[in-house]
Structure 1
Amino acid sequence: MPKATANGIEIHYEERGDAANPPMLLIMGFGAQLTLWPEELVDALVERGFRVIRYDNRDVGLSQKFDGVKAPGIVKMTLLSKIGLKPKVPYTLADMADDGAGLLDALGIDKAHIVGASMGGMIAQHFAARHADKCLSLTSIFSTTGNPKLPAAKPEAMKALITRPASSDEDALVDHGMMLARTIGSPGYPTAEDHLRERTRASVQRSFYPEGPTRHLSAIVADGDRREMLKQIAVPTLVLHGEDDPLVPCEGGRDTAATIPGARIRTIPGWGHDLPVELVDDIADAVATHARSAAE
């Protein structure tokens, strides 16, 4: 299993495609392993001429865990944020962006196309702002700006996201994962039951580490409003968002595109907060076309 020391920690990564092709770094979201990037999407991007690298963020999957490091409670963090104070958290989204930049360094890659989904989109935004010299293009997928005036997640979506499984029994974990996927997934592109169960079980068997998402959430809350930072992003940017996303409403994507200078946006009806196989070609075409145009 390939691992690299990046930003002072151990990061697990996987790469596919010709090493001579333009590199593309995929950054996954809250509590999610690199395997949440569908194999079909990775293959589609490779077929479109890219060297695709995906990795487990810190505190998830097979990357380094921060055992014993406690995050402040969500209520305390929210209250501090509302009065303009930054809560002290184990690490920040900026730190996680530095992980990605460090991974590129470890792989000997000077520049890459950066693609982030959900919290990964937030990390990718930080990457583009902090490491513009390493960023050929930015694609932010079903992510947002942190603008407190934007519509919130639907209550059932947020509840499903932060509720822990009833037990650590494998079948219970699989059932919980499927419930979450169904709750936040695409109403227009539901995943077949057998495929969803197989994918969820593989994820559980690969890694189950419930402490990591708690620290991920603290990093998101502490990050606050990113709009002033986003106004400084100068790399070519594409925003992709589902019009039926219950977790990060489409207004978050529209706000992202409106804030980053020159950003373009594409929204898709029926798309929720997942990467359904039916949309793989559409997403891959959009990302690849954007990356190629940015390189011209």
Structure 2
Amino acid sequence: MPQAEANGLSIEYETFGDRANPALLLIMGVGCQLIMWPEDLCQGLADRGFFVIRYDNRDIGLTTKMDDAGAPDIMAALTAQLSGEPVKAPYSLDDMADDAAALLKTLGIDRAHIVGASMGGMIAQLVAIRHPEITKSLTSIMSTTGNPDLPAAKDEAMGALLTPPADTSRESLIAQGVTMWKVIGSPKYPATEEELTTLAARNVDRSICPEGFGRQVLAILSAPARNEALAKLSVPAMVLHGADDPLVPVEGGKDTADAIPGARLEIIDGMAHDFTQALVPVYLDKIGGFVSQVESGRAAAE
């Protein structure tokens, strides 16, 4: 896959479709590499007439690691947050939004549909807030506003996310990944055991950076609520959330939609916090339908 020099980083990315088509940028969540966006979804969006870009965020995958920042202390950060103290992080979600904007600029793309999942949804919101001139539309998936009054993740979901593997062997790393995805997986759209094992193995074999995951967690914990800034947006927006999400409860999606003027809210029964093959048709229908409608509206207006 190619790399782009953007915002002081070497960003690993991959594209699908014709470059002449409207651009659609996919931003993945905490600790997740670009391969977490299913290829069938990326190609399906490309087949609908979009130039699709997926990439590794900083500190994850094959993009530049921020190793000079040192090892993060997630538990200390969580304790600080619960105590109402500021959380220190080596970089912010704002910085990660600027990474996304810089990537588009490096690729010569003036405007794009911005789609993000989980932490990627937070980043996508900040792209729209900080860089409205490049944002054709915003799609925030299984994400939230950072409002501290919203329900927290379920204990078992946080445990699955933060519990380290038994050891650093490939087998243990894969097993830990499979366990995590089972805990936060969609009850109505489950992955098969083979699917989960294959995905976990691909992640382990491609890149492992637990310190990068931890630094991304600190960026989330240190971020202020975005409600006031989201209320000032004037871009078309859709919020997509699973009714059964144990990691980012559905109230986070509702709060996001409430904050953005005119936002469309889509709540999917039986969906939790994952991207299984069974969910690809749902994502393709919702994301593809929304961005196609935005493009049709733009074409009509022009």
Contact 2:11–2:57 (Cα < 8 Å) also in 1: yes
Cross-structure match for 1:189? 189
Matches within 5 A, 1:13-162: 13-70=13-70, 73-78=73-78, 80-81=80-81, 86-162=86-162
Structure 1 portions without partners, runs of 5+: none
2:220 aligns with: 220
Aligned twin of 1:259: 259
After TM superposition, give the deviation of residue 86 of structure 1 in Å.
Answer: 3.7
Q: Deviations over 1:68-118 (max 9, x none)?
A: 413663454345546765433110000000000000011000000000000
Distance 1:230 1:28 in 2: 20
Looking at structure 1, the residues matched to 236 and 62 of structure 2 have their Cα atoms a distance apart, in angstroms, of: 31
Q: 1:200 to 1:231 in 2, by over 3 A?
A: same
Q: 1:59: how far off? A: 0.2
Deviates more, 1:19-28 or 1:159-168: 159-168
Name the counterpart of 1:174: 174
Contact 1:189-1:270 within 8 A present in 2 as well: yes
What is the CA-CA distance between 1:282 and the residue it aligns to?
Answer: 2.1
Contact kept, 8 Å, 1:3 with 1:12, in 2: the verdict is yes
Which amino acid is the alignment partner of residue 111 of structure 1? Answer: R
TM-score, normalised via structure 2 length:
0.94
Q: Is the 8 A contact 2:72 2:214 kept in 1?
A: no
Question: What is the identity, as a one-letter code, of the residue corresponding to 1:207?
Answer: S
Contact kept, 8 Å, 2:3 with 2:11, in 1: the verdict is yes
How far 1:185 moved relative to its partner? 0.7
Looking at structure 1, the residues matched to 133 and 32 of structure 2 have their Cα atoms a distance apart, in angstroms, of 27
User: Which amino acid in structure 1 is aligned with residue 120 of structure 2?
Assistant: G
Instruction: Give the whole-Å Cα distance in 1 for the aligned partners of 2:160 and 2:85.
Output: 28
- For structure 2, the 5+ residue unaligned runs are 298-302
Q: Check whether the contact 1:71–1:89 (CA below 8 A) recurs between aligned residues.
A: no
1:14 maps to a residue whose letter is: E
Q: Which AA in structure 1 matches 2:264?
A: R
Counterpart contact for 2:71–2:211, Cα < 8 Å = no
Map of 1:282 onto structure 2? 282
Task: Give me the whole-angstrom Cα distance separating, in 1, the residues matched to 2:205 and 2:74.
Answer: 28
Aligned-pair Cα RMSD in Å: 1.5
Once the two structures are overlaid, the 10-residue window that deviates more, 99-108 or 80-89, is 80-89
Q: Point out 4+ residue stretches in structure 1 off by more than 6 angstroms.
A: none
Q: Distance in 1 between matches of 2:130 and 2:268?
A: 30
What is the CA–CA distance in structure 1 between the aligned matches of 2:279 and 2:29, rounded to whole Å?
A: 19
Q: Which letter maps to 1:270? A: G
Q: What amino acid maps onto 2:216 in structure 1?
A: H
Distance 2:192 2:72 in 1: 38
- The change in CA–CA distance for 1:193 and 1:153 in structure 2 (over 3 A counts) is same
Partners in 2 of 1:229 and 1:185 — Cα distance? 31
SS of the counterpart of 1:255? helix
For the 8 Å contact 2:125–2:230, the answer to whether it is kept is yes
Is the contact made by 1:142 and 1:273 (CA closer than 8 Å) also made in structure 2?
yes
C-alpha deviation, 1:292, in angstroms: 2.3
Answer whether contact 2:191 2:278 (CA < 8 A) is retained: no
Displacement of 1:294 after TM fit? 2.1
Percent of pairs identical after alignment? Answer: 52
Tell me how far apart the structure 1 counterparts of residues 166 and 38 of structure 2 sit (CA, whole Å).
Answer: 27
**CA separation in 1, counterparts of 2:38 and 2:72?**
33
Q: CA deviation at 1:227?
A: 1.1
